[in-house]
Amino acid sequence: MSEPISIPSLVTEKKEKYESLLPQIHALVEGERDLIANLANIMSALKYGLNFFWVGIYFVKNEELVLGPFQGPVACVRIGYGKGVCGTCWKKAETIVVPDVDAFPGHIACSSESKSEITVPVFKNEKVVAVIDVDSHILNDFDSTDAHYLENISKLIETLL
Ligand code: SME
């Protein structure tokens, strides 16, 4: 049985939360080779560790993004290249921070509760093969700290593919 993810209640700074969470996520996937199981656990650890509204991963499949393991309310299954925040992240092959989803042209609203968003590409052989998507119910909830640590998670996922 795996250990529950825990972040000491005294830890309030986002950077410290990620610092506490990251080794636990690495430990969670260590020794387990099943990709879906590992991704499901990573998404759960991020959602509940950092209290996000929605955390998931979309995979590039046949020229579109298709929903993979996630934690949160049901979401859009397919997203085209260059469409929405996720499709733009795929096209630009870079992390995108969206402080206000309503101000992002073409944003795809899976839930009206999502207010801000960050998307991070996952690479394999220098090509984008997946996009990590995190939504918050708070406006302007993401910054360079999230980008830094989620890019770290992206690199971990790359090693699992
Ligand atoms: N908002 C995303 C769609 C995915 S959901 O947020 C889970 C987008 O614009 O691509």
54 lines ligand 1 (CB under 6 A): yes
Q: How far is the CA of 3 from the centre of ligand 1 (A)?
A: 31
Give, using CA atoms, the residue closest to atom 1 of ligand 1: 108
Full set of structural domains in the chain with CATH:
14-160 (3.30.450.40)
Tell me the mean pLDDT per 10 residues along the chain, length 161.
Answer: 72 89 94 95 95 97 97 96 98 98 93 94 97 97 97 97 95
Mention every residue, 6+ apart, whose C-beta is less than 8 A from residue 118: 95, 96, 97, 98, 133, 134, 142, 146, 147, 150
pLDDT for 111 equals 86
Q: Which of 48, 15, 45 is nearest to 143 (CA)?
A: 15
128: Cβ below 6 Å to ligand 1?
no
Find the Cα–Cα–Cα–Cα dihedral 140, 145, 146, 150, rounded to 10°.
Answer: 160
- Which ligand 1 atom is nearest residue 86's CA? 10
- Supply the pLDDT for residue 6: 81
At 1 the pLDDT is: 55
Residue 110's pLDDT is 86
Nearest-CA residue for ligand 1 atom 5 is 110
At 12 the pLDDT is 75
Nearest ligand 1 atom to the CA of 75 is: 7
pLDDT at 78: 97
- Whole-Å CA distances, 114 to 22, 33, 91: 24, 32, 22
